Structure 1
């Protein structure tokens, strides 16, 4: 087994202090006019390498890149990278093996980690509707029978039927199991990645993930859409290192999205995650959107203040923030029309490091470093229908609202008790630079105007 060839990788717990910037390689840098968003726009690894400073200056420390392996070019194109054909070759639409090695090497010179997206569930569709173009797994016996998932609550269907019609690998087949494990070790060693992001976690059985963990002791973060906290916990018990905080993602959408539900949903997600994961809640990935969802800006109907609140939550909530490329440039669009995957090089977005949300995110990331946020816990102080206050240790007080800019209540006031700050000390909101005094009893009088968020720290940190 090639697993013994693994040489070095960061301690997975180091990722608690990381911030992950998700790049859809085909759409981030160096491509064409990108008029056909359902096909390749030819963003590439070499051009991405030239934009590493843009990501680093934003305050992000880890880059999550799209799957890099060669793709099957069947009846339609899978530019996101989830239709592998030859696991041991780099997708030429992204560049060469050397381009990928150069990207990782240059990132490491800048003290940036690189994690690659990997898919163990399925391969791509060939033009003849068979598996003739799949070099790594060329035989029919390597796949589950041709069935379609009709009930997403049915575990058997999820694990043995097809996603988007793509041939579903049978990980119980001895050859498939061993080849996937051997490739895992080869891939890590060949390109010197710092970890993996893993899609389709719920579509692959727990037996495989247990075997996978034996050959992948590095950082792995899995996506298990719509999973409960108990289900996520099952994937992190001797399987994946961690997962994305899916229930929190759902709560964020329901609170800030068109449903405009109570902030109590955030409180419930926080409490349940803490009870389920304990200290390991610090490992969960926090996100507002990604390549398979609507952009957060569309979800909140382009409301600037809800957008501000979401970005603040992402960068102050306990866990690892994961930012989808272009959020800092206010890219918006729906998943169904591929508008969520706009090209960054278009004139409308470009790489503006002076844009208002680029500067906001940079400021939040700088403060995360100052207070060493990865080492401190989160505690809820107050929750109401349209108001939520929590602290990170004794360093930061965060106040959020989902009311948005156009809400009828232009000002919200609450006195928040038990703040972490000393009586009669002075604290400042890093978003507005406004400073206030803490009361004698350590309470703080909070005013939110036009749906704004607040992030208070001691004046000495400003």
Structure 2
């Protein structure tokens, strides 16, 4: 009898209702003291499986784990997982194949999906400067020539030269192309993943992504750093399922972050995304920070009201919210040589405290997303000024934000017209539990004190 390969995975479109929690395995659970964060701190898969309820209780429905494959000896920072040597082996620094399978099984028992990070672009560096330690692609012929990227706007350099001197796979080579595709099918089936996050997208040609699409009908979300919406659209046209919302990330960083630019920039990216993506804007990933960026709490100068504003926007903006581990415990740090942005969560300063203020706040935001089915409702801009932005989600939620932060000690008042609520409706801010009445003309009088954000819903939903 002919064997039929059956792959199990959720419908990619169902990810619109997901809320994703990004984990770096080496930094999430079970590790040691970590004096030099450029190296392994010994967090592991087995310990992560024991902390799944912490993520579940926070209100997330999907875990994005760092790359799982075995790494090379060089360079530093292998703990992040982007320097593979053997695609068919689990990184022994973080556990065994069975540990990884157990993690996915335990997550699924809790109705948590698991997506794994994948790097198709390059391998790591071997001690002898060659590719002798690369088990899956051991021949020089499988790589592009040795050149470094000097111009990030040059697509040829991006696709054919090396990222940080790491050997660059030639996806146009028949063996490399087929092996990457075959491995992808094996990897998904072997560990029962629900989808993949993919890095270095702009460093690989469109031909490969089109071929990958033919064999990977599950959810894929790609990182195309610093890309415009038009560029992102090119990668989601019969290639990746979706991407991260890069223009929004930049706008939030520049408006709410340390630059304090006009909030009108948020209005511009909202309009551009809707124009180019239409309804598919609901699939874009919304992030404030990750392993490649400064922590948002650092980029906004540790101003907790700016931090709150960013987190509120991330969880109420149209798209899929993606939280970097530890944000709920107010981890901060820069993406510097010392890797301060990847502090271990188990340290006594942070830990897994489910009663801390931002853990509770994020839990509330996730609960509201679930309650009002935010994945199904559109976003409407209500009022924008240089220091104020308000929008609604369907007829369920009204959000009001400012970029002034706590340090400026400003009191901001606006009458927001055309609210999503009927006149005289009683609405409450989920962040403070303060309630007000909607005006008869359906406008809402908004008061923001010292940089606070507001998320209003009907009192009946409280």
TM-score range, shorter chain: over 0.9
Distance 1:394 1:201, change over 3 A: same
1:24 and 1:347 map into 2 onto residues whose CA distance is 18
1:16 and 1:434 map into 2 onto residues whose CA distance is 30
**Structure 1 unaligned residues grouped into runs of 5+:** none
Cα deviation code 1:408-449 (max 9, x no counterpart): 5x2101101101111111111111111101111001111101
Q: Give 1:301's aligned residue.
A: 301
1:165 and 1:341 map into 2 onto residues whose CA distance is 23
Q: Give 1:345's aligned residue.
A: 346
Q: Give 1:318's aligned residue.
A: 318
1:90-169 mapped onto 2 (5 Å cutoff): 90-169=90-169
1:306 and 1:425 map into 2 onto residues whose CA distance is 29
Paired residues of 2:75 and 2:124 also in contact (CA < 8 A): no
1:398 and 1:46 map into 2 onto residues whose CA distance is 39
| Equivalent position SS for 1:115 | strand
Paired residues of 1:75 and 1:127 also in contact (CA < 8 A): no
1:395 and 1:228 map into 2 onto residues whose CA distance is 30
Q: Give 2:7's aligned residue.
A: 7
1:5 positional shift: 3.0
Q: Give 2:377's aligned residue.
A: 376
1:5 and 1:285 map into 2 onto residues whose CA distance is 30
1:207-356 mapped onto 2 (5 Å cutoff): 207-336=207-336, 337-356=338-357
Paired residues of 2:61 and 2:113 also in contact (CA < 8 A): yes
1:89 and 1:427 map into 2 onto residues whose CA distance is 54
1:45 positional shift: 0.2
User: How many pairs are equivalent?
Assistant: 459
1:184 and 1:6 map into 2 onto residues whose CA distance is 14
Under a length normalisation based on structure 1, what TM-score does the superposition of the two structures give? 0.98
1:187 positional shift: 0.2
2:374 and 2:347 map into 1 onto residues whose CA distance is 35
1:79 and 1:129 map into 2 onto residues whose CA distance is 20
1:293 and 1:373 map into 2 onto residues whose CA distance is 27
Structure 1 stretch displaced more, 69-78 or 290-299: 69-78
| Equivalent position SS for 1:400 | strand
2:291 and 2:62 map into 1 onto residues whose CA distance is 17
Q: Give 2:72's aligned residue.
A: 72
1:8 positional shift: 1.1
| Equivalent position SS for 2:78 | coil
Paired residues of 2:233 and 2:277 also in contact (CA < 8 A): yes
| Equivalent position SS for 1:260 | coil
Distance 1:358 1:77, change over 3 A: closer
1:390 positional shift: 0.2
Structure 1 stretch displaced more, 287-296 or 33-42: 33-42
2:26 counterpart of 1:20: no
2:177 counterpart of 1:189: no
1:4 positional shift: 7.1
1:270 and 1:186 map into 2 onto residues whose CA distance is 39
Paired residues of 1:6 and 1:188 also in contact (CA < 8 A): no
1:78 positional shift: 1.4
2:350 and 2:35 map into 1 onto residues whose CA distance is 15
Cα deviation code 1:274-297 (max 9, x no counterpart): 001000000000000000000000
Paired residues of 1:5 and 1:185 also in contact (CA < 8 A): no
2:47 and 2:417 map into 1 onto residues whose CA distance is 50
Paired residues of 1:6 and 1:185 also in contact (CA < 8 A): no
1:74 positional shift: 2.4
Distance 1:206 1:186, change over 3 A: same
1:76 positional shift: 3.3
| Equivalent position SS for 1:55 | helix
Structure 1 stretch displaced more, 5-14 or 362-371: 5-14
2:13 and 2:124 map into 1 onto residues whose CA distance is 34
1:75 positional shift: 4.8
Distance 1:340 1:77, change over 3 A: closer
Cα deviation code 1:374-397 (max 9, x no counterpart): 000000011001000000000000
1:361 and 1:61 map into 2 onto residues whose CA distance is 13
Q: Give 1:357's aligned residue.
A: 358
Paired residues of 1:5 and 1:189 also in contact (CA < 8 A): no
1:419-458 mapped onto 2 (5 Å cutoff): 419-458=419-458
1:218 positional shift: 0.1
